[in-house]
Structure 1
Amino acid sequence: MNLSTQSVDHPLSPKGRFGRLSYAAWTFLSSIVAVILIFVLAFTAVLSTGTNVEQPQNYPILAIILFLVVYIALLYFSFVFTIRRLHDRNQSGWLSLLMLVPVVNLFFLIYLFCAKGSEASNNFGPVRATSAWEKVLGWIYIIIIPLAFIFGIIAAISAPAYQDYEQRSQQIQMDQQN
């Protein structure tokens, strides 16, 4: 293949394909970057407004605009990665709009992580090789998702139990003082 017709795969472009691990890795990486940016913006906004966090009207308008920019960028890249993942399944990128439908988006995300892509070239190009760092980051993300779900369930169960324990211990202390 000569160099003038050879296309370069840009991961941030909706053209091309993403395997399951590439999809997980790039989604995880974009989420990490967005969370870091949001924390930095929140920290600087709080520092610039003083210690009174309860009054959001004191936040600088620039911080709010930057929050929106980060959110829109994360949303855009989420759609790009979803489109590329759908292309790996030889499906139209328009199906990525299912990510906007509540509840359906959860099942759609599970589908994207679990469904195997086309093993040969399809309408959207040849199979994209998953680099080593994408494999590592993708597996970390895939492992973190169920762990977060399990810890969330444990926290939801244990928080009311702990509150009940606190109330009973306070009641016992009151009874002992009387």
Structure 2
Amino acid sequence: MNQKYQTSESALSPSGRFGRLSYLGWNMLMSFSILIIIGIIATFSPDLFTNPSALTGSSMVAAILIGIAYIALLYFSFVFTIRRLHDRNHIGWLSLLILVPGINILFVLYLIFAKGDDRSNQYGPRRITKGWEKILGWIYVLIFPIGILSAIALPAYQDYVTRAQQAEMEKSIHHVD
């Protein structure tokens, strides 16, 4: 077995390293998992999302499950960030930067674009990125910009439609006079 690559560690442990595509792939897997969990919860307790002030027994359980999912999301976000920092030969404590507004965006961009060490470092040997991690990582790379563009474009389009409808209504009111 080639000692250059570490293959037996758990990806869910903060020890070890993640290359860029492994980091993105595991984040994409986590995002899919959270979406599925929230979808299941929304299916069985739709009033949690439509009328959160009227908590019933089932929606209380759903709210607790969402809280647990959020804690798991936060934990694994830190684990994946620590592993990515280790790939850059940085200490895991820098992962706390994801909690600082504004800096967190620049920090995540750094983690995505900065190349890791090609050789072993103090956190172990380079880890081979698995095939499925590469696929999910590239899906993340493709979906993320589309999501950002949608978050910008859809509200702008909705605002345009609203203003056009108002202008049309004003035009028809003035036309009647």
TM-score class, shorter: 0.7 to 0.9
TM-score by length of 1: 0.87
Q: Give the C-alpha shift of residue 174 in structure 1.
A: 3.6
- Cα–Cα, structure 1 residues 11 and 53, in superposed 2: closer, same or farther, change >3 Å? same
Supply the AA of the counterpart residue of 1:57. A
SS at 1:56's partner residue?
coil
Between the aligned partners of 1:151 and 1:63, the Cα distance in structure 2 is: 29
CA RMSD of aligned residues (A): 2.1
Between the aligned partners of 1:138 and 1:81, the Cα distance in structure 2 is: 13
Supply the AA of the counterpart residue of 1:25. G
- 1:28 alignment partner in structure 2: 28
- 2:135 alignment partner in structure 1: 136
Between the aligned partners of 1:148 and 1:46, the Cα distance in structure 2 is: 25
Percent of matched pairs sharing the same residue: 44
Give the aligned length: 171
SS at 1:57's partner residue?
coil
Aligned residues of 2:7 and 2:127 also touching (Cα < 8 A): no
- Cα–Cα, structure 1 residues 134 and 83, in superposed 2: closer, same or farther, change >3 Å? same
Q: Give the C-alpha shift of residue 145 in structure 1.
A: 1.5
TM-score by length of 2: 0.88
- 2:158 alignment partner in structure 1: 159
Aligned residues of 2:87 and 2:116 also touching (Cα < 8 A): yes
Q: Give the C-alpha shift of residue 154 in structure 1.
A: 1.9
Q: Give the C-alpha shift of residue 176 in structure 1.
A: 4.8
Supply the AA of the counterpart residue of 1:40. I
- Cα–Cα, structure 1 residues 132 and 7, in superposed 2: closer, same or farther, change >3 Å? closer
Task: Encode CA deviations 1:33-78: one digit per residue, 9 max, x unaligned.
Answer: 011101211221126x8xx933533243211111110000011011
1:58 maps onto 2:46 in alignment: no
- 1:37 alignment partner in structure 2: 37
Q: Give the C-alpha shift of residue 26 in structure 1.
A: 0.2
Between the aligned partners of 2:14 and 2:79, the Cα distance in structure 1 is: 5
- 1:115 alignment partner in structure 2: 114
Between the aligned partners of 2:63 and 2:156, the Cα distance in structure 1 is: 35
